[in-house]
Amino acid sequence: MQTLKIYTENKIGVLEKVTTVFTRNRVNITTLNLRANALKDLSLICVSADISPELALKVIPQLKRIIEVADAKLKAESKL
């Protein structure tokens, strides 16, 4: 089980842009939590999925490519 912490701008449609990356990499999300203003004006999206660490690491740069994403990390190493 891997958990990713994704910090994003608090805007309409950002969650969809984030989940598209998981869909594209055939990742089935098992837990998803979104909290607006978790870190100043940023939202925090926590996504868990039953995937390998390698796949999680492959997904992260693709998440960071989304303009509204400020940061994306594996939970263990998360700090912002």
Q: Which residues bind other proteins (CB under 8 A)?
A: 9, 12-13, 16-17, 20, 24, 58, 61-62, 64-65, 67-71
**Which CB atom, from 15 or from 46, has the smaller least distance to other proteins?**
15
**Which CB atom, from 35 or from 65, has the smaller least distance to other proteins?**
65
Which residues are 31's β-sheet partners?
48
**Which CB atom, from 20 or from 33, has the smaller least distance to other proteins?**
20
Distances 69 to 1, 8, 38, 45, 50 between C-alpha atoms, Å:
22, 4, 14, 10, 22
